[in-house]
Amino acid sequence: MITAVEGVKCYGIKEGKNGLGIVVCKGKVAGVFTKNRFKAAPVVITQEHVKYGEIEGIIVNSGNANAFTGEEGLRNAKRMAELLAKKLKVPIHKIAVASTGVIGVQLDMEWIESKFEEVFANLGTSREHALSFAKSIMTTDSFPKECLIRDRFTIAGVAKGAGMIAPNMATMLAFIFTDADFEPEELRDMLRKAVDRSFNVTVVDGDTSTNDMVLLIATGKKKVDRRIFEKRLTEVCMDLAKKIARDGEGATKFVEIRVEGAKNDEDAFKAAKTVASSLLVKTAIFGNDPNWGRIVAALGYSGVEVSENLDLSIEGFKDGNAVGSVDLVRNGRSMTNENKAREIMEKSDEILLKIDLKVGKGKGYAFGCDLSYEYVRINSEYTT
């Protein structure tokens, strides 16, 4: 889908756990990066390069995070950038580098360099080219994550992520392209706001990766109203964030938490994300157990102002169609609807929890998933 933006060419390959992808696109750039103190080498390099405000290429490998790899890791990340910079005949600072995979292992640069020419030679603008790149950056993902919105301009994004997701900007990478015309400072401001309302309210397992990276590249072909663009950008980020949550490692249900009646919006988002992060809530949802006491407990330790007169309800969906809804708590009192709630949960692949804290007018939300036996299996065997 990213090739729907004029000027974007890409391609990628996947061999076993290893993948290599390249995107060529000339434009202004802004980025948001992990807050993990152990930043991966490609994050360190790309953060510096993005400061120049312009970019012409992105090179990404999967299967190895190139994180906690010291000076050799930094040299390897720079080498990846050099490969593409030399081919495009541009300064190295116009290349972004990203990696995802196992932490603490040096890159197999022999493999990357041996595949570089093949990937570069096959760059193109078709739907198949875009899909090959999306697949090349996957690790434990079960499907490629793409989004395209057309207005009077185009925004297209691609992301990867299924585990180690608790963005504090998950192992999450996202690359978003547009033909709109904005300066890097404007892109940076809009991207941070969009990320805060999308990727940063998404939780799979509570771990913040060393490699999180979101890049926004604008080719500058079209003049666009900033308010309209900001709205569309947030929609793209939210779509990709939801797909990451739906694809949570081993997940059987997508979960959305909507909070209203909070003291302010900040408290509402904090409360929603706390519920989405609770392992007890996530396991209860996996077991189709309407144990609403776990949700109340999470709200109680969230650090936000709450009322004992809160309301809590649950809605279920299957393949996008409503299954049913029921109140669990009303004005602080149990509605003894657990059996009905269990029936709804058993039929659903998507759960919506609606909470009214009744202390103000703040609203917020968070995205997540359940926590299953399969999550434990995937992550207990990740390096074996």
Residue 329, SS3 per DSSP: strand
What's the token pair of residue 143?
């499907």
Per CATH, the architecture of 2-243 is what? 4-Layer Sandwich (3.60)
All structural domains of the chain with their residue ranges: 2-243, 254-380
Distance of CA 254 to the CA centre of its chain: 14
Please state, in angstroms and rounded to a whole number, the distance separating the CA atoms of residues 206 and 199: 13
What local confidence, expressed as pLDDT, does residue 162 receive?
A: 64
Q: What is the CATH number of domain 254-380?
A: 3.10.20.340
Q: Does 336 qualify as catalytic in the annotation?
A: no
Query: Would you state the pLDDT for residue 208?
Result: 58
Beta strands in 173-265 (DSSP E): 173-180, 213-222, 254-262
Q: How far apart are CA 223 and CA 240, in angstroms?
A: 25
Return all residues near 162 (Cβ < 8 A) that are at least 6 apart: 139, 140, 141, 142, 204, 244, 247, 248, 249
> How much is the pTM?
0.88
> Of 3, 139, 171, 234, which is the active-site residue?
171
CA-CA distance, 273 to 298, in Å (whole number)? 10
- Quick one: tokens of 153? 């301009």
Torsion 330-335-340-346 (CA) sign: positive
DSSP letter string, 249-263:
TT-S-EEEEEEEEES
Compute the residue count for the chain.
Answer: 384
pLDDT for position 153: 97
Is the fold of 2-243 the same as that of 254-380?
A: no
CB 159 within 8 A of CB 174: yes
- Taking the C-alpha atoms of residue 219 and residue 285, their distance in angstroms, rounded to an integer, is 43
Predicted pLDDT at 87 = 98
Q: Could you list the pLDDT tens digit for every one of the 384 residues in the chain? A: 999 999 999 999 999 999 999 999 999 999 999 888 889 999 999 999 999 999 999 999 999 999 999 999 999 999 999 999 999 999 999 999 999 988 899 999 999 999 999 999 999 999 999 999 999 999 888 899 999 999 899 999 999 986 544 444 345 799 999 999 999 999 999 999 999 899 888 876 555 567 889 999 999 999 999 999 999 999 999 999 999 888 877 789 999 999 999 999 999 999 999 999 899 999 999 999 999 999 999 999 999 999 999 999 999 999 999 999 999 999 999 999 999 999 999 999 999 999 999 999 999 999 999 988 887 787 677 565
**End-to-end Cα spacing for the chain:** 33
Say if residue 191 is exposed, middle or buried (CB neighbours under 10 Å; 0-12, 13-18, 19+): buried
Q: Return the half-sphere exposure (C-beta side, CA atoms, 13 A cut-off) of residue 372.
A: 16
Structure tokens at 114: 């041996």
Is-contact 142 247, C-beta < 8 A?
A: yes
